Structure 1
């Protein structure tokens, strides 16, 4: 049927049956190429934007058949109506004209101008026509969302919320088994083949806990994460950097009082579980409070310095067991010292190194490097090289050789008996462990924040490449979300906490390897987790004769991966003169070598936060000048632009007696503290380049025109500062005018409630808001003879009235003069209407 729209006399088709609606909502019908002419798009946008809306229907409704009843007008429709309305104005005042609007009512005309996007005659749907050739799929929403029953609406929304936090419910039903099942399984097994040996090294070598707790960190937490992750190729678990920091954080507590090796192990198990609990709490709080945007705190220099520092610390911690000096380091207390002390210990005791242990370690490391080079050079030609588990093969070979040749009796340290994990789950957070929890709380939060930063980097950079053949396309996945990743990590570490596992975070290296191995979906990480569980609970006795120098060689590969990019980045920083990033790298590495990794990273984060706060709290106010030969083109007088070069800055025209300033950013309490002071500085010098100790370059008070085109929002503190600025200039007898203010209803109401409109209403006229800087300048030219805040002087009644000829313009001026004695916007508008009528 045909129905009249709410925007004019135009008619449009409306689907009246479920089949019609399905056709209209098909991907072929909903094309951005012709959205203005397709009624299905209007129907779709009304449904989407009225999601969960229970407001009463508007005057224009879309009637549909079936149980869905009447569709209420959506927010999109209201927005479209506001866009078409010529009556909406800034701060609710009558719309000013665009041809020379003035402060005086006698210069007002009937023509209407436009402010902002909402005043444009082009709707949002018509803006979409600029995008051509783009289509998107549309899922029909659950009809229960629009049911009159609250219970049905709750069930429908619960289904969507469940899919939001468990993306597996979205991608698993559409999983292409024939296309990607084999590659996902092979990728999961490949990643498990070299990550399980790494977890053994993380546990015993870095965190001083039995190997089974490292495997547990890869097993069940990864399974939970796979159900909740939005990144298909992400592999979580213990990371070398986090493991190094965990080991350094718990070292002063587990070695206090000369404990026995059994006591060290028992203490380490509890402290590691408590740090995992801190990870869980931190990730949960940040995820549910939607603090994922904090990943911007990590600068490039801090990230590079952190990775390099972790590589250096990990290298020192790896060389000690690789050379067979672990027990000597514990006896001399070097295990608890800084990386610089450990380096001195290695150089001093190098003659005492165990030859067989060093040979096993360095030969294994050489084979791993050779296989890495072979894979990087010939993997494209020989695809099978990607799936060769070289690390697993080396571990199996050295374990068999140790068992056959009895290397353990020749001084080589082996893994030994590894007990199967106890599946009984218990919380480490008890009254007896509260003091221990407080000891590692600050260190645990720092480690968790760094883990969050690293996971955020992986989530933004690791994603399956689109296949060349559509048949091998992965199933539909939700858009990666940092907040949802935080929630997923929180639940993964919650399970890890109950199992006393190492903390789990996203790993860039293994996630990238998972992608290269052919992973397309989260099923690869599920395969990885299940294989780790099988090894943990069934095959641990097979690693009894595994030499620890072999695990140290595997860790050496991680050290190389962390350090190999550092020289190139440092050279790049030198070439582009990024001295700030270089300083950050030097500070983090220097403090890490001298003291500890925790302190180095903490100082780096502190410097980054200070830099962000200094940038955020500095108001970027600009002084404007006119481009020669133009009427309404103004540029920043302190900086060159696309049409004004450095040499042409001196040719910009200053407006006499007027200070033109631009506020190109939202104003809030953080960046308004120095706004008034900087405005005074501009008034004295006309530029921000002059030092405030120099004598003033400009004489006399000036009127001020503020260009607010970039001020998209404003809080109460900023409004108070603006009121103070306007009041100060009014007491000096000067005007403050606002130009190009953004149309924002919230900000407009805030201005009105704070009294700023009243302060900008000079001599009883409407508030001084203008569509352009040129209009504000013309208004100043007309108002120079009036004093802001005072009424225009009326002629003395005792003096004889001068008889002049009658003129219509004089009558208009007389009416305007009488209107200036009235107070209130309603009376002023009546006078304006009378003057326009005359």
Structure 2
């Protein structure tokens, strides 16, 4: 049974499931379902798919995640950034509105799900670490701007296009003459209303004595109110005949069984986008899941999360959906509403299934402008331009990564943007580690501690140079250490000993070993001893497997103070003094 629980987390939390958890999960499911109905329709529109695809992508994936996922609050389904990535990737292989476009979206979900499951099976969750937080923040900010801009055409009622910010803005400007002012009034009114609901409705309700739970439900139902009102207005006044674009007929059915396209050309065209979607979706999901789990002193398993998200995407691929992941907004709502287990997600799926069967005819006259307003209000909360100021003040290198990601994403599209962000992060990391911080240290008077001579008033000796290496040594930075020691030793003729303090060195690769051997031989020829101190066990084990320890022109000391005491009293040092 233990081995089964390892692969099916549902068996773990299911053992202690009780009436209290059931009640809390049902309440959370009602609130999240109300929120997801308009949101799912809107995100399908963003992905360039029929509106029902958003609901389909929110049923089977949620159930599968409840079985295989480890987070008790994460709500899986379509999200804004993944929907944008889907539109960008699928739009390159098929024309929107065609069967080929829908098949390509299914294939993208299939590839993403397969990649995530494989990563989970082989415990490769660490690969997501190649996306640094500044890059993710920059990418999400730029994506939020792109998403909001892409919805302006629906607010204005025009047929603009483009995938990058310059393309979209140019297309919007060239179609200004086609603006439908009735659509504009609906879209602008809906946007203003939704912003007011998000910021002011709950405080207003609480001030007049509304119970907190009811205030939460009414606030989350704000988009539903916008959908109902604008749909009734369009229907009553026949605005569809006056140029207002509507959702139209939506199939009244449960998710169908579908099959992704498996042609080699389609698979190869979508493979890289699928990998990007998988990694970005996983990073977003795990970040949200870990944050929410920490609030209840729970934990999640990132590798099992990979399998849970992979299963969800595979479910979407075979039930008429498109790539999904854990959404920040819906997960927070799910958590705040009191969800205790993944069963809340399963109940949400049931609610959405009922909506797919019973409520879809009611959205026939729903204007696209209302869905666009829903998207704009949702994604603008993702835009955080303050990250530029924060990274500039903290680290110029991180600022470069953020700025490059934002600029390239807006100018050249989401895939190039995130790829460039990852590449920039790696290059900057290599650059920073190629010039490791090496501090010359001295003894703090009256203690056994050593500190940087440029920052503290410490004791030093002209015959002894102590260098603290604050970075692991590998092929990128090994030569830097050689040059630094050579320069320091030639500056002082009285130097008799060099001690490398290795307290911060976790790894010494073979290239660095060769550099240490070169330093040792060079100092030996100069009549200067090379010593090491505070070498960590794993590093020492490797050094002892080489000839370096035997040929070392000095000693290896357990502590820097021991090295100082021994070398200060050595005949060479005394002679120099």
Q: TM-score under structure 1 normalisation? A: 0.62
Q: Does 1:654 align with 2:460?
A: yes
Mapping for residues 6-405 of structure 1, pairs under 5 Å: 159-178=1-20, 180-203=21-44, 205-255=45-95, 264-326=97-159, 329=160, 335-378=161-204, 382=210, 383=212, 384-388=214-218, 389-405=221-237
Q: Does 1:726 align with 2:559?
A: no
* Alpha-carbon distance in structure 1 between the residues aligned to 2:410 and 2:572: 71
User: What root-mean-square deviation, in Å, do the aligned CA atoms of Structure 1 and Structure 2 show?
Assistant: 3.0
Aligned counterpart, 1:28: none
Can you list the C-alpha shifts for 1:687-734, whole angstroms capped at 9, x where unaligned? xxxxxxxxxx32366322222333345444444443443344334444
Q: Does 1:441 align with 2:268?
A: no
Query: What is the CA distance between 1:582 and its match in structure 2?
Result: 4.8
* Alpha-carbon spacing, 1:480–1:411, altered in 2? closer, same or farther (3 Å): same
Describe the SS at the equivalent of 1:436.
helix
Aligned counterpart, 1:130: none
Q: Does 1:759 align with 2:551?
A: yes
Gaps of 5+ in 1: 1-158, 256-260, 330-334, 467-476, 685-696, 763-767, 787-838
* Alpha-carbon distance in structure 2 between the residues aligned to 1:785 and 1:759: 20
Can you list the C-alpha shifts for 1:727-746, whole angstroms capped at 9, x where unaligned? 4433444422232333x2x5
Aligned counterpart, 2:309: 489
* Alpha-carbon spacing, 1:782–1:290, altered in 2? closer, same or farther (3 Å): same
Q: Does 1:770 align with 2:564?
A: no
* Alpha-carbon distance in structure 2 between the residues aligned to 1:464 and 1:657: 53
* Alpha-carbon distance in structure 2 between the residues aligned to 1:509 and 1:274: 26
Q: Does 1:528 align with 2:528?
A: no
Query: What is the CA distance between 1:385 and its match in structure 2?
Result: 1.4
* Alpha-carbon distance in structure 1 between the residues aligned to 2:355 and 2:514: 65
Query: What is the CA distance between 1:220 and its match in structure 2?
Result: 0.6
The answer to whether the 8 Å contact 1:188/1:527 transfers is yes
Can you list the C-alpha shifts for 1:169-209, whole angstroms capped at 9, x where unaligned? 2222212423x432321211211222222222222x32222
Describe the SS at the equivalent of 1:218.
coil
Query: What is the CA distance between 1:509 and its match in structure 2?
Result: 1.3
Query: What is the CA distance between 1:594 and its match in structure 2?
Result: 3.0
The answer to whether the 8 Å contact 2:60/2:319 transfers is no
* Alpha-carbon spacing, 1:177–1:716, altered in 2? closer, same or farther (3 Å): farther
Describe the SS at the equivalent of 2:467.
strand
* Alpha-carbon distance in structure 2 between the residues aligned to 1:785 and 1:516: 70
The answer to whether the 8 Å contact 1:239/1:504 transfers is yes
Q: Does 1:634 align with 2:482?
A: no
* Alpha-carbon spacing, 1:711–1:313, altered in 2? closer, same or farther (3 Å): closer
* Alpha-carbon spacing, 1:302–1:779, altered in 2? closer, same or farther (3 Å): closer
* Alpha-carbon distance in structure 1 between the residues aligned to 2:135 and 2:535: 39
Describe the SS at the equivalent of 1:737.
strand
Q: Does 1:510 align with 2:330?
A: yes
The answer to whether the 8 Å contact 1:625/1:653 transfers is yes
The answer to whether the 8 Å contact 2:530/2:553 transfers is no
* Alpha-carbon spacing, 1:759–1:395, altered in 2? closer, same or farther (3 Å): same
* Alpha-carbon spacing, 1:222–1:701, altered in 2? closer, same or farther (3 Å): same
Describe the SS at the equivalent of 1:699.
coil
Query: What is the CA distance between 1:320 and its match in structure 2?
Result: 0.7
Aligned counterpart, 1:451: 281
* Alpha-carbon distance in structure 2 between the residues aligned to 1:616 and 1:573: 19
Describe the SS at the equivalent of 1:444.
helix
* Alpha-carbon distance in structure 1 between the residues aligned to 2:40 and 2:448: 66
Gaps of 5+ in 2: none
Describe the SS at the equivalent of 1:751.
helix
* Alpha-carbon distance in structure 1 between the residues aligned to 2:400 and 2:515: 37
Describe the SS at the equivalent of 1:545.
coil
Aligned counterpart, 2:487: 681
Query: What is the CA distance between 1:222 and its match in structure 2?
Result: 1.2
Q: TM-score under structure 2 normalisation? A: 0.88
Q: How many pairs were matched up?
A: 566
The answer to whether the 8 Å contact 1:459/1:482 transfers is no
Aligned counterpart, 1:561: 381
Higher RCO (C-alpha 8 Å, min separation 6): 2
* Alpha-carbon spacing, 1:216–1:636, altered in 2? closer, same or farther (3 Å): same
* Alpha-carbon distance in structure 2 between the residues aligned to 1:705 and 1:365: 66
* Alpha-carbon distance in structure 2 between the residues aligned to 1:385 and 1:251: 41
* Alpha-carbon spacing, 1:593–1:661, altered in 2? closer, same or farther (3 Å): closer
Describe the SS at the equivalent of 1:660.
strand
Aligned counterpart, 2:505: 711
Aligned counterpart, 1:611: 428
The answer to whether the 8 Å contact 1:295/1:456 transfers is no
Which structure has greater helix proportion?
A: 2
